[in-house]
Amino acid sequence: MAAEDAIVADGLQKRYGPVRALAGVTFSVRAGEVFGLLGPNGAGKSTTVRVLTTLTRPDVGRAFVAGHDVVHEPNRVRGSIGYVPQESGVDREATGRENLLLQGRIQGVPGDELRRRVDELLDLVGIADAADRVVRGYSGGMKRRLDIALGLVHRPSVLFLDEPTTGLDPEARAAMWVEVERLAEQERLTILLTTHYLEEADRLAERVAIVSRGEIVVEGPPEALKRDLRGEAVTVELGDGQGAEAAGIVDALDGATETTVDGRLLRTRVPNGAQAVPAILSALEGSGVRVESVTTHRPSLDDVYLHYTGREFAAEDVAVDGKAAP
């Protein structure tokens, strides 16, 4: 473990009965870094966080947080971290201030210091005006901000945010991104963020590890991962029942790679989208394949996921959504 690493996961494996939740997860997070675990629902992100926060023990592998072994030194780990789980932990019948004061007392923060810290956090997460209102009347975004403040009362060095914007509307989600960015800057924390929102990882994380089916398939800065996928993606919406034929036609074109078909959508990668689209349309229409629409775009994290797993991120997310993840 390098001295500058605040989080280290080394070969983590975990099973829940017949379900393999983790299949050898390995990564490290530098002190002061915002690191994203990105993957569809059920990929293993939350199980990884549960291991790192001492809520479950790995079957195989080791992990260290803030220099402490999560299995052999769980109390030291817990004293060094803040944890914001997917499900809100606030008391809906207490005020925001009362929630924070109670959390601080549980963490052993002294009285005067605690009151100052609570005022500081209420300002930091933008709910000072609602501090003395009962949480039952808070919006979803306000409750989520309070959840984050609860995780910071005792001034941890590492903060875990597990799907912090799940369930929020787009406006509240964008506001939460701003709060997380400000938090990272002002508190100088190491932050590990789990998310299944591609744009969230792209916006907030300095580095991401993409998780699929209990394994990390690729890791690096989002821009570097996208840059490694040279060229552009082309998506063609086809007529019904013509996918297999269309894939063969497009894949035979000069420069086309990674051609896949999902229902009526054909995707391929080309060196230059503007130059390739006319050739693709001409080849398909010349063979009697009906084309409804065509779009082209620079590589995204969705393309990175598809490249390394062979599966579309959105389809994978839908495939496991609604099933009980371990």
29 and 49 part of one domain: yes
147 and 262 part of one domain: no
| Nearest-angstrom CA–CA distance, 317 and 92 | 31
**At what angle are helices 313-320 and 301-309 packed, to 10 degrees?**
80
165 and 261 part of one domain: no
Last residue of a domain, one of 226, 250, 285: 226
CATH number at residue 254: 3.30.70.100
188 and 279 part of one domain: no
| Nearest-angstrom CA–CA distance, 52 and 279 | 51
Helix ranges, the chain (H): 45-52, 74-80, 96-106, 111-124, 140-150, 170-187, 198-204, 222-228, 243-251, 273-286, 301-309, 313-320
Asked if residue 207 is part of any domain, the answer here is yes
The answer to whether residue 239 scores a pLDDT higher than 50 is yes
The answer to whether residue 317 scores a pLDDT higher than 50 is yes
Q: Do residues 227 and 220 lie in contact, with contact meaning Cβ atoms separated by under 8 Å?
A: no
pLDDT tens string 57-107: 999 999 999 999 999 999 999 999 999 998 888 999 999 999 999 999 999
189 and 260 part of one domain: no
| Nearest-angstrom CA–CA distance, 138 and 127 | 10
Q: Give the list of residues 6+ apart from residue 72 with CB closer than 8 angstroms, or none.
A: none
Quote the pLDDT of residue 324: 38
Instruction: Report pTM.
Output: 0.84
- pLDDT band of 2, cuts 50, 70, 90: low
182 and 242 part of one domain: no
215 and 269 part of one domain: no
Return the amino acid letter for 42.
G
26 and 75 part of one domain: yes
What is the domain range of residue 72? Answer: 5-226
The C-alpha angle 121, 123, 127, rounded to 5 degrees, equals: 95
The answer to whether residue 47 scores a pLDDT higher than 50 is yes
| Nearest-angstrom CA–CA distance, 278 and 285 | 10
15 and 99 part of one domain: yes
The pLDDT > 90 percentage for the chain reads: 72
